[in-house]
Amino acid sequence: MATTVAGTKPIIKTGFGGGSKPRGPNGNGSSGRNGRNAASRIQSSANRYRIGMWVAMASILMMFTALTSAYIVRSGSSNDWQPLATPRVMWLSTALIIVSSITLEIARRKLKGGFLSAQRVWLLASFALGVAFLLSQLFAWRQLVGQGIYVSSNPHSSFFYVLTATHGVHLVAGLIALLFMSMRRRVSSANEMQIAKSQAAADAMTLYWHFLDVLWIYLFVLLFFWR
Amino acid sequence: MSGETHDTHGAVHRHEAPTSFIRKYIFSLDHKVIGIQYIILALVAVLVGMTMSVLMRMNLSWPGTNWPILGTLFPGGAPDGMMTPEFYLSLVTMHGTIMVFFVLTTAPQGGFGNYFLPIQIGAEDMAFPVLNMLSFWVTFVGFVVILAAIFFSGADSTVGPIGGWTGYAPLSALPNSGPGQGMGMNLWIISIAIFCVGSLLGALNFITTLLNMRAPGMSLMRMPLTCWAWFTTAVLALLSFPVLLGGGILLLLDRTAGTSFFIPGGLYVSGVLSGTSVNFPIHTGGSPILWQHLFWFFGHPEVYIAILPGMGATSHILATFARKPVFGYRAMVFAIFAIGLLGFFVWGHHMFISGMSPYSAMTFSILTLSIGVPSAVKTFNWLGTLWGGRIRFTTPMLFSLGFVSLFVAGGITGLVLGQSSLDLPMHDTYFVTAHFHLVMGVASIFGMFAGTYFWFPKMFGRMMNERLGRIHFWITFVGVYCIFVPMHTMGIVGMPRRFAQFTEYEFLATLQPLVVFVSIAAIATVIVQILFYFNLVWSIFKGEKAGPNPWEATTLEWITDSPPPHDNFAGVIPTVYRGPYEFAVPGAPNDFILQTEPDPGTVPATEGTGNGHNGSRH
């Protein structure tokens, strides 16, 4: 090693993960799509759906973090904050979304076990529960409107509508994805890539739904039980 | 290069390009076409932004002059050919918005990142091609909406809102707060919200692609520094744009739904008291500072979103033309990450004059100054890369050297402004304007110029004209210093930002010749960019033909054809055997070794020996 060469060479020798063996998979233990055998390659190629979903969730979480910080700052910045009473129907919403999360998890496991028709039933059940959740949320809105509480009435009602609507928009996206998944034609059992992909998509979708579930519980607590 | 560059699974598996014009060039799923679409978007947007800056300079330097053409084009905004102050302010706003969002965010990341990140990691395309296409077209719609803001503000005799690119509330939150703040401001917010969505889709794709689609052997620490920069940028975008989106939704509701997130009570605006008119409903208790926090939590990472890709390109190009490995590759990677990470904790330094507690100010100040450490690591490593190299002064190299120079010149004043005691008097003066234009504006653009001259042969199969490139470089380089160095002086004297003219201020009268000098330099610099556009278009058709590797570089984009085929590597996934910058390796036949080249004979190909070659495990 001549002294004129600075940089990569010596550093590769000293650090961790300086590179994999010539033909190994990606370095640093990363399960890239480039494992030696076809099965692991297919698996890691399908993995992009799971990775993408985690990344997307980080981004959505960031938006709700921003809204939360606005909520907390705004609630302390003046004395016009009049907390709403918890609409009773929101307990129902909460129950519905928790149950939908469970049914979707069952659907995911059915797919993993290869029980495709059972999976479709549980998917549709989750879809119906998701729609019921949205209707229940809408009902809460209608109730509040009936009491004359609008988005501009006071800061708490403003945040109530903003947070429930933002959550609802994300849930609608999830419903569309669910519908798309349940209407997809059955993949041929011979095509390993297709199977891996549909399993990964189902995993990602379920993950997203659980995320929306937990997010709703968090928002419910923030809106009505914080302070 | 030996034939043993691909694994067994690298059996030829080609993807053909779609043949219909619309699928191939308009709604293309090919990351290369999408990258070029982003670059074209930026090239168009930058013309709008530059034109606006020239108009502003004209108004600043020659007060009282009648510009008949202005009077014809904007009869309301420039009656008798003389701009109204509101018209000037709307120029400031739209110049900033278009440049920051549609030029500095699109070209470096969406453009070059889209084109070269998949190729440099040995992937056939992005992880989610459909999202990639959506990301561009959503961004395009955002651009159309911001242009609509220019035209819909015509009734107000402006070219858009007058609140600056930061959209501070309550000015931005009240439709009746001034000309341009009505429909123009609504469209401005909607455009930015759309842009946020487009950028988020892009960031999601970049991160997943980089994590999931690297070629065999392309470990993280073998990636070119450009990939690290694009990756970090994507992480920043992913975590900062949602905050702006959330804030934007609240701002839009304040304007349209009568909420009071950012609007305090008891405001008396344009002769109307809050609550006494249907156009100005009652507002209570909102916090304008809250908007500043949300905006700058996004705004500061946004600065790094603009410049990090330029840093990556500079590292890449300096190593290539100094014919030396990047000095301290690993330190460069950690420095990029450190800059990105710290960028999330320093937003308060934009708000020192908002009345924040001195203790908060001190915290933000210390964190801000600490960014100087990774920045210095990068700068010294660039110098270390150049040290003792056999430098080839090509146009991309000149622009990269220019980047280093501008980054230092603009960054050093960041250390000044990062201290609240110094920021307090200098905030809202031209000192700040000079600082951020040098470092986030011009330095980023220099990074992109370098990238354009460097990668053009790969993108279009032809070289750009070197002579024109050099003329372009030298005039631009001297020009931007002539524009922005005097602005520091003006700022220290106390010349305020965002003033349409300075005719009323006696203490600024002595600076007027300097103002004129800056304007002349600006106009000259803008005119020289015609050379760049000409060179770009001319070279696509008439440039000298380029081979696959005209610069004798080492990374994966140079192993494939110029331009690359639809699936980048003609169906063969490359296998990577070494780090990205193996230049001037002693004993090697050439002074560069491609990443795909296994070591000839000296080392058994299956087993790393730990002598550095093959980068074996330890």
User: B512-519: which pairs have CB atoms within 8 A and are 24 or more residues apart?
Assistant: B512/B61, B514/B486, B514/B489, B514/B490, B515/B60, B515/B61, B515/B490, B516/B61, B516/B62, B517/B482, B517/B486, B518/B57, B518/B61, B518/B482, B518/B483, B518/B486, B518/B487, B519/B57, B519/B58, B519/B60, B519/B61, B519/B62
Rounded (10°) angle between helices A192-224 and A89-113: 160
Q: What is the pLDDT, as a whole number, of residue B50?
A: 97
Confidence of residue A30 (pLDDT cuts 50, 70, 90): very low
Q: Does A78 touch chain B (CB under 8 A)?
A: yes
Please check the confidence at residue A13 and state whether its pLDDT lies above 50. no
Please check the confidence at residue A4 and state whether its pLDDT lies above 50. no
Go through chain A and tell me how many residues it has.
227
Q: Which residues of B touch A158 (CB under 8 A)?
A: 253, 257, 259-261
Please check the confidence at residue B617 and state whether its pLDDT lies above 90. no
Please give the helix or strand (H or E) that residue B272 lies within, else none: strand B272-273
User: Do A45 and B222 count as a contact with CB atoms less than 8 A apart?
Assistant: no
Q: What is the pLDDT, as a whole number, of residue B362?
A: 96
Q: Among residues B336, B347, B121, which one has the least CA distance to residue B229?
A: B336
Q: What is the pLDDT, as a whole number, of residue A186?
A: 64
Taking only the tens place, the pLDDT of each residue in A36-51 is 567 777 878 889 999 9
Reply yes or no: is the peptide bond before residue B586 cis, omega within 30 of 0.
Answer: no
Compute the average pLDDT of residues B413-419.
95
Give the count of beta carbons closer than 10 Å to the beta carbon of residue B237: 27
Q: What is the pLDDT, as a whole number, of residue B397?
A: 98
Please give the helix or strand (H or E) that residue B524 lies within, else none: helix B512-542
How far CA B533 is from CA of A106, B391, B527, B538, in Å, comes to 59, 27, 10, 8
What does DSSP assign to residue B17? P
Reply yes or no: is the peptide bond before residue B325 cis, omega within 30 of 0.
Answer: no
Q: What is the pLDDT, as a whole number, of residue A73?
A: 94
Rg of chain A on CA atoms, in Å: 24
Taking only the tens place, the pLDDT of each residue in B153-185 is 878 889 999 999 999 999 999 998 889 899 999
Q: B445: number of CA atoms within 13 Å, CB side? A: 19
Q: Does B260 touch chain A (CB under 8 A)?
A: yes
Q: Which residues of A touch B258 (CB under 8 A)?
A: 151-152
Q: Among residues A56, A159, A172, which one has the least CA distance to residue B242?
A: A56
B15/A12: higher pLDDT = B15
Please check the confidence at residue A79 and state whether its pLDDT lies above 90. no
Q: What is the pLDDT, as a whole number, of residue A3?
A: 42
Q: What is the pLDDT, as a whole number, of residue B282?
A: 87
Report the share of chain B in percent with pLDDT over 70. 95
Confidence of residue A185 (pLDDT cuts 50, 70, 90): low
Compute the average pLDDT of residues A164-171.
97
Q: Does A225 touch chain B (CB under 8 A)?
A: no
Please check the confidence at residue B237 and state whether its pLDDT lies above 90. yes
Query: What chain A residue is nearest to B201 in terms of C-alpha separation?
Result: A56
Please check the confidence at residue B223 and state whether its pLDDT lies above 80. yes
Q: Which residues of B touch A7 (CB under 8 A)?
A: 319, 324-329, 385, 581
- How does B259-292 read in b/e, with b if 16+ C-beta sit within 10 Å? bbbbbbeebebeeeebeeeeebeebbbbbbbbbb
User: Do A51 and B214 count as a contact with CB atoms less than 8 A apart?
Assistant: no
H helices present in B180-260, as ranges: 183-212, 225-256
User: Do A7 and B328 count as a contact with CB atoms less than 8 A apart?
Assistant: yes
**Phi first, then psi: what are they for B174, rounded to 5°?**
-115, 115
Please check the confidence at residue B198 and state whether its pLDDT lies above 80. yes
How far CA B93 is from CA of A27, B101, B185, B237, B447, in Å, comes to 47, 12, 10, 22, 24
Compute the average pLDDT of residues B423-447.
96
Compute the average pLDDT of residues B104-129.
96
Substitution target in A3, A16, A23 with the highest count of B β-carbons within 10 Å is A23
Q: What is the pLDDT, as a whole number, of residue B24?
A: 86
Q: Specify the 3-state DSSP secondary structure of B59.
A: helix
Q: What is the pLDDT, as a whole number, of residue A187?
A: 63
Ranges A116-130, B215-229, B485-499, B603-617: which has the least confidence: B603-617
Q: What is the pLDDT, as a whole number, of residue B536?
A: 97
Please check the confidence at residue A141 and state whether its pLDDT lies above 90. yes
Report the share of chain A in percent with pLDDT over 90. 62
Q: What is the pLDDT, as a whole number, of residue A27?
A: 39
Q: What is the pLDDT, as a whole number, of residue A15?
A: 34
Substitution target in B197, B199, B233, B259 with the highest count of A β-carbons within 10 Å is B259
Shortest alpha-carbon distance between residue A160 and chain B (Å): 12
Estimate to the nearest angstrom the gap between the alpha carbon of A163 and the chain centroid: 16
Instruction: Report the Cα–Cα distance between both ends of chain A, in Å, rounded.
Output: 65
Q: What is the pLDDT, as a whole number, of residue B12?
A: 65
Question: How many CB pairs (< 8 A) connect A and B?
Answer: 242
Please check the confidence at residue B220 and state whether its pLDDT lies above 90. yes
H helices present in B343-371, as ranges: 358-370
Q: What is the pLDDT, as a whole number, of residue B386?
A: 97
Please check the confidence at residue B339 and state whether its pLDDT lies above 70. yes
Contact call for residues A186 and A137 (beta carbons, < 8 A): no
Please check the confidence at residue A164 and state whether its pLDDT lies above 80. yes
Q: Please name the residues in contact with B569: beta carbons below 8 A apart, sequence gap of 6 or more.
A: B122, B124, B559, B560
Please check the confidence at residue A17 and state whether its pLDDT lies above 80. no
The encoded tokens of residue B241 equal: 């744009």
Q: What is the pLDDT, as a whole number, of residue A14?
A: 35
Confidence of residue B600 (pLDDT cuts 50, 70, 90): low
Please check the confidence at residue A32 and state whether its pLDDT lies above 50. no
Taking only the tens place, the pLDDT of each residue in B520-574 is 999 999 999 999 999 999 999 999 999 999 999 999 999 999 999 999 998 888 9
B431/B589: higher pLDDT = B431
Please check the confidence at residue B593 and state whether its pLDDT lies above 90. yes
Average pLDDT, chain B: 92
Confidence of residue B3 (pLDDT cuts 50, 70, 90): very low
Q: What is the pLDDT, as a whole number, of residue A183?
A: 82
Q: B150: number of CA atoms within 13 Å, CB side? A: 18
Distance in angstroms (rounded) separating the CA atoms of residues B330 and B333: 5
Q: Does A147 touch chain B (CB under 8 A)?
A: no
What was the ipTM of the complex prediction?
0.91
Q: Among residues B97, B105, B103, which one has the least CA distance to residue B161?
A: B97
Distance in angstroms (rounded) separating the CA atoms of residues B593 and B613: 11
Rounded (10°) angle between helices B183-212 and B129-152: 160
Confidence of residue A77 (pLDDT cuts 50, 70, 90): confident
Q: Among residues B575, B480, B504, which one has the least CA distance to residue B6?
A: B575
Compute the average pLDDT of residues A163-183.
94
Compute the average pLDDT of residues B394-404.
98
Q: What is the pLDDT, as a whole number, of residue A1?
A: 38
